[in-house]
């Protein structure tokens, strides 16, 4: 079925793969996976390897993976083996988020979907569980304050201000956050990406009514590192408790998503001090180079990878697979909880 001029709504653009359609029809748990980490977040061939490994991790837990991407004016929910390889190697793929969803569909080519676009697709397809690496959030300096350097980096981009006073706000806040506030999908991640201002990201989510729940520890996971030094807004001991909380949130019908955070496996983490140093350097360089907007997140991730000589890629890869596994376990626990409830 192709999108017609008369049909409206996200559902008119969906192309759900047969395995995902069958799973949804039979009540088998489904986990949506995003694809901007494939097109923009990781280099080839790690991007393809991690996308396949995340799908395998979901299957190993008894759930069905639904990787979401855009191609030829359609939102694909569930990619075939060859489609995933094409997505991972295609040049010039776009980055689709809520603000660019129409433009990427109209353009007709491949696009990776960010957390916001994947949530929109998942909700329209009837999928309530979704795994990613790290969500977008409030970038450092989004609300002004000192430049990362304390020098004239961003000031140069802002028109050559020579004084070293407070920098003007960039207002760079990912559309992922507003999506979490308005779309009822649970998102499993390893914390907001460490390149962000994590405390401000948590404040934003709280203000907009999004529960942030850490599974298995009471500290926010630091994305590349297990720790962040920031207390968890809320935590649950395990997947079963996460499922009970999610079921309650859904019954309330508040319309918002939930952010579930799990730390990267210990053997693959980047030591917190190494991560902090690499991010600080990359942030200064991005500022000096005048990189901003949708290009900023991919640019910072690539710089951190270069500075850490690939150690960040190993951590990023491991955490994505771990999140997919955890999302599948919670989806299975949720299904069990639901069937027990209706007996």
Which residues contribute to the site for ligand PSU (CB under 6 A)? Answer: 34, 36-37, 40-41, 97, 114-115, 132-134, 136, 174-176, 294, 297, 301, 316, 320
Q: Where do we find the tokens 């395990």?
A: 238
- Strand boundaries in 72-190, DSSP class E: 74-77, 94-96, 111-113, 129-131, 186-189
Catalytic residue among 34, 61, 179, 269: 34
Q: Least distance to ligand PSU from the beta carbon of 341, Å?
A: 32
Phi and psi of 139, rounded to 5°? -70, 155
What number of other Cβ atoms are within 10 A of residue 17's Cβ?
A: 17
- Residue 45 preceded by cis peptide, ω within 30: yes
Question: What is the widest separation between alpha-carbon atoms in the chain?
Answer: 70
The CB-of-247 to ligand PSU minimum distance in angstroms stands at 26
Active site annotation includes 219:
no
Which residues in 156-175 contact Mn ion (CB under 5 A)? 172
Q: In Å, what is the CA distance from 332 to each residue of 112, 217, 242, 329?
A: 27, 21, 11, 5
Where are any strands of DSSP class E within 256-342?
A: 258-261
Closest distance of CB 297 from Mn ion, Å: 7
The one catalytic residue among 95, 167, 193, 239: 193
Nearest distance from C-beta of residue 316 to ligand PSU, angstroms: 5
55 flagged as catalytic = no
Could you give the 3-state DSSP secondary structure of residue 6? coil
Pick the closer one to ligand PSU by CB: 132 or 256: 132
Between 172 and 179, name the residue whose CB sits nearer to Mn ion: 172
Q: Which listed option, ligand PSU, Mn ion, none, makes contact with residue 236 (CB within 5 to 8 Å by class)?
A: none
Question: In this complex, which beta carbon is closest to Mn ion, that of residue 125 or of residue 142?
Answer: 142
Residue 179 interacts with Mn ion (CB under 5 A): yes or no: no
Interacting residues with Mn ion (CB under 5 A): 172
Q: Which residues are catalytic?
A: 34, 193
């Amino acid at each position: 079925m192709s999108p017609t001029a008369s049909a409206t709504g996200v559902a008119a653009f969906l192309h759900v793969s047969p395995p995902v359609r069958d799973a949804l029809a039979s009540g088998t748990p489904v986990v949506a996976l995003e694809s901007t980490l494939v097109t923009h977040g990781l280099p080839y061939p790690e991007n393809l390897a991690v996308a396949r490994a995340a799908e395998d991790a979901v299957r190993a837990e008894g759930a069905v993976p639904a990787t979401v991407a855009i191609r030829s004016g359609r939102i694909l929910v569930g990619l075939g083996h060859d489609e995933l390889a094409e997505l991972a190697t295609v040049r010039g793929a776009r980055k689709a988020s809520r603000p660019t969803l129409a433009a990427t569909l109209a353009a007709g080519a491949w696009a990776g979907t960010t957390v916001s676009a994947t949530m929109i697709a998942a909700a329209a397809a009837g999928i309530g569980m979704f795994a990613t690496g790290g969500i977008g959030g409030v970038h450092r300096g989004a609300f002004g304050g000192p430049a990362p350097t304390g020098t004239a980096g961003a000031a140069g981009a802002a028109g050559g201000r020579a004084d070293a006073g407070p920098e003007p706000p960039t207002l760079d806040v990912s559309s992922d956050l507003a999506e979490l506030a308005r779309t009822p999908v649970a998102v499993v991640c390893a914390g907001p990406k460490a390149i962000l201002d994590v405390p401000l990201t948590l404040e934003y989510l709280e203000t907009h009514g999004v529960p942030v729940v850490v599974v298995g520890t009471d500290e926010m996971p630091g994305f590349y590192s297990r720790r962040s030094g920031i207390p968890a807004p809320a935590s649950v001991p395990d997947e079963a408790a996460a499922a009970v909380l999610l079921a309650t949130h859904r019954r309330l019908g508040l319309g918002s998503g939930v952010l579930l955070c799990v730390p990267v496996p210990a053997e693959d983490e980047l030591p917190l001090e190494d991560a902090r140093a690499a991010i600080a350097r990359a942030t200064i360089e991005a500022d000096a180079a005048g990189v901003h907007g949708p290009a900023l997140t991919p640019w910072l991730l690539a710089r951190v990878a270069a500075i850490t000589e690939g150690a960040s890629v190993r951590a990023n890869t491991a955490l994505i697979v771990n999140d997919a596994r955890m999302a599948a376990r919670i989806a299975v626990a949720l299904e069990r909880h639901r069937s027990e409830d209706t007996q």
